[in-house]
Amino acid sequence: MTDASDLPGASTSQRATSRLLRQRAQEFLTSRKHANNLVDIIGQWDESTYSCLLTTEMIFMEVLRRGDMLCLERMIALTTSDASPESRYIMWLKNCYEEVWKKILASMDTCRSAIQLQALTTAIKLMAEEGKAPLEPRNNLGYHFPLHRLKPILMMLLSTEKDNTNLISRFQEIAEYSDALYYTWKCLPSLTPKRQPPEVQIKNFLELIDKIPLPKEGEESKISDNKGFLCGPQAGTAFTWDQSAVKGALNKVWACVMHWELTPQLHKQLLIVLLERVMPHLEKPVLLTDFLMDSLDVDGPVGVLALQGVFTLVTKHNLEYPNIFTKLYSMFEPEIFHTKYKARLFYLSDLFLSSTHLPEALVAAFAKRLARLTLVAPPEDILIIVFFVGNLLLRHPGLKRLIDHPQGGEIPSDLSSGAGDPFLMEERDPLLSNALLSSLWEIRALQWHILPSIASAARFIREPLPSVEYDMASALEHTGDHLFDRELRNKVKDIMLTFERPSSMALPKGERLLQYWQLTSTH
C-alpha cells in the first residue's frame, strides 16, 4: 500500500499522522476493544484525507475478506431493541462503511489530483472486494457485481462542473475487466441526460465512451471466459457477456448524445469517438446521415472527420450521396496542410477516386487541383500529392494528355499566378473547372525543386509511367511525426554521459567541483 509519507513534499507532521493512523488501523483489526479507533480515523478525514483514504482502504479490504460485516441473523433483528451485541456491532460497522463510501466519493471531487486519483483507486478496490464478498447473505449463488457502488462512481466521473479527464483515464484501467466493462455500459443509459447538459459534462461523457470500447463482432466470446474479472471468478459462478444488451445500452446513450448542441471542439471530439468507437456498433448507422452531412459543411478537421463517416455509410450501408465528389473537391484548400487530419483526407480521397469508371473530367479536376496545391504545400505533402496524381494517371490512361497538353499553358514566370492556364482554381464544381484543357505544368516545375527527393519523384511525368500504383499508405507514413520519429531512430545514438560508472550520489573521483561543493541528504 502506498503511504502518504511517500508523497513528494510530505511534511514531518504528515508522516507522523500517517504512521499513527496505520497503528490505529492495526489495533482495530486486531481487537474489537479498539473499535473506536475507526471513529477517530474517520474523524480526521478533512485534515488528512490522503492518509485516511489509504487507512480505511486497508481496514475495509480486510473486513470484507474476513466477512466481519456479514450478518447471519434475520435482517429484522438488526432493527429491534433485543438484537444481539454481534448484530449491533455489525450494524455499526456497516454504518461506518457507508459513511466512508460517502467520504471517498466526496474526495473524488476535490481540487488535488493526487487525492482524486487515490479516492477513485480506493473506491474501485473496495467495490471489487465487495463483489467477491457481498455484505448480505444471498440465496442465489450466481455472479454478483455491486452496481450500487459502480453507479455513484460513474456519476462523479460524469461531473457537470469539473473536467475529469485524469480520473477517466485512471478508470480506463478497469475496462480491461470484462464484468466491469459490461456493467459500466449497463449503467450509462440511466446516467445520460435527456436534455442539453453543460459543456464540461459532454466532454466527460465523450472521454468516458472513448475509454470503454466494446469488443468487435465475433470477439465477444473471448471475453466471457473465467479470466480478467474484477469481481471474480467466484466459486461455482460464471460471468456471461451479453453483446446484444451492451449494444442496446450504447445505442440508447448515443441517441441522446446526437441531440446535444456542440461547440466546435466538442463537435470534433464527438466525431472522433463516433468513428473510432461507436459507429461499428450502431443498429442503424444510416440515421447519422443528416448529422454527417451537416458536419461536412464545417471547415477544417470536422469536415475531414465527417468525410470518413460518409465514406463508411457509402461503402458499407449503400448510402447514395451524389454530391460527395464536389464536397471532396472543395476540401482541397491550402489550409488543409495545417490540420492534424490531412493524412486522413489524402487516404480517403484515394479510396473515393479508386474507381476506373469515374468521368475523366472529374478525375482531371482533382489531378489539376492537387498539382496546383504543390506550389504552396510543405515538402512532405508535395511527395504525397505527386504519388496521388501519378495514381490517377495510371487509373485513367486518357489523362496522359495532361502531361503536355498543347493548350494547357507553359510554366509561368510567376508560378502562383498560373497565368495563361485555362484551369479555373476558384471554380467549386470540378466538372466546370476546364481541367481537361489544362496541363500538369506544376508537376513539370517540380523537376527543378531544391529537394532531390521531390525532384526525382516529379520526373515520372517525362518518363514512361510506372506499371504499378504508388502505395499511398506507405507514403503517408512519411509525414509529420512519422518522419520525425524515423529520423530520430536512424540518427540518435546512445551518448556516454560518464566515463566512470557512478557508485553513489557523490561525483566521480578527481572531479574538481568536489573542492567547492558536497552533496548531502537530509533525514
Domain spans, the chain: 12-71+86-140, 145-216+240-281, 351-405+423-496
Judge whether residue 509 has pLDDT over 90: no
Once rounded to an integer, what is the mean pLDDT over residues 134-158?
82
What confidence score (pLDDT) does residue 75 get? 46
∠ CA 132-134-137 to the nearest 5 degrees?
130
- Min mean pLDDT across 35-44, 368-377, 408-417 is at 408-417
pLDDT of residue 457: 87
Closest alpha carbon to 201 in 138, 173, 239, 159: 159
Among 372, 382, 490, 481, residue whose Cα is nearest residue 427: 372
Band (405; pLDDT cuts 50, 70, 90): low
Q: What is the mean pLDDT of residues 455-478?
A: 73
Q: What is the CA radius of gyration of the chain?
A: 32
Joined grid coordinates for residue 466: 510506372
d(CA 289, CA 508): 68
Task: Write down the pLDDT at residue 100.
Answer: 95
Query: Would you state the pLDDT for residue 251?
Result: 95
Report how far residue 144's alpha carbon sits from residue 141's, in angstroms, rounded to the nearest whole number. 8
What 3-state DSSP class applies to 61? helix
Convert 112-126 to b/e letters by CB count within 10 Å (16 or more is b): eeebbebbbbbbbbb
List the single range of 199-208, 262-271, 375-384, 505-514 with lowest mean pLDDT. Answer: 505-514
pLDDT value at residue 67: 87
Tell me how far apart the alpha carbons of residues 420 and 406 are, in angstroms, rounded to a whole number: 12
CA 35 to chain centre: 45
pLDDT bracket for residue 6 (50, 70, 90): very low
d(CA 367, CA 387): 11
For residue 3, the one-letter residue type is D
Amino acid at 368: K
Q: Are 312 and 274 in contact (CB under 8 A)?
A: no
Mean pLDDT across 41-61 = 93
Helices (H), 67-137: 85-107, 113-132
Distance CA 131, CA 144 (A): 6
Section 22-48 average pLDDT? 92
More reliable by pLDDT, 520 or 175: 175
In this model, does residue 136 exceed pLDDT 70?
yes
Checking if the pLDDT of 519 tops 60, the result is no
Average pLDDT over residues 274-285: 92
Supply the pLDDT for residue 418: 57
What's the whole-model pTM score? 0.79
Q: Can you spell out the DSSP letters for 503-516?
A: -SSSPPTT-GGGGT
Residue 125, pLDDT > 70, answer yes
C-alpha cell at 279: 459507429
DSSP-derived secondary structure letter, 79: G
Choose among 9, 107, 91: nearest CA to 55: 107
Q: Give the range with max mean pLDDT: 265-274, 414-423, 514-523.
A: 265-274
Average pLDDT over residues 140-144: 67
Rounded Cα–Cα distance for residues 415 and 402 (Å): 18
The pLDDT score that the predictor gives to residue 183 is 93
Torsion of CA 216, 256, 268, 217, to 10 degrees: 10
| Predicted confidence (pLDDT) at residue 229 exceeds the cutoff of 60 | yes
CA angle, 34 then 79 then 57, to 5°: 40
In this model, does residue 355 exceed pLDDT 50?
A: yes
DSSP category for residue 214: P
Highest averaged pLDDT of the listed ranges 201-210, 227-236, 438-447 = 201-210
Average pLDDT of the residues in 500-504? 56
Cα 50 to Cα 46, 47, 110, 122, 159: the distances in Å are 9, 9, 11, 11, 21
Q: Which residues, in sequence order, are CB contacts of 368 under 8 Å at separation 6+?
A: 402, 423, 433, 435, 438, 440
Question: Could you tell me if 41 and 54 are in contact, meaning their C-beta atoms sit under 8 angstroms apart?
Answer: no
Kindly indicate the confidence band of residue 83, based on its pLDDT and cuts at 50, 70 and 90. Answer: low
Of 456, 350, 355, 365, which Cα lies nearest the Cα of 402?
Answer: 365
Confidence at residue 508, expressed as pLDDT on a 0 to 100 scale: 57
SS3 (DSSP) at 137 = coil
Q: Mean pLDDT of all residues in the chain?
A: 82
The answer, yes or no, to whether residue 469 has pLDDT greater than 80, is no
- Give Dmax over CA atoms of the chain in angstroms: 107
When pLDDT is averaged across residues 306-335 and rounded to a whole number, the result is 88
pLDDT in tens, 205-219: 999 999 998 887 666
Q: Give the confidence band of 86 by pLDDT, cuts at 50, 70, 90.
A: confident
Task: Cell 459532454: give the residue.
Answer: 202
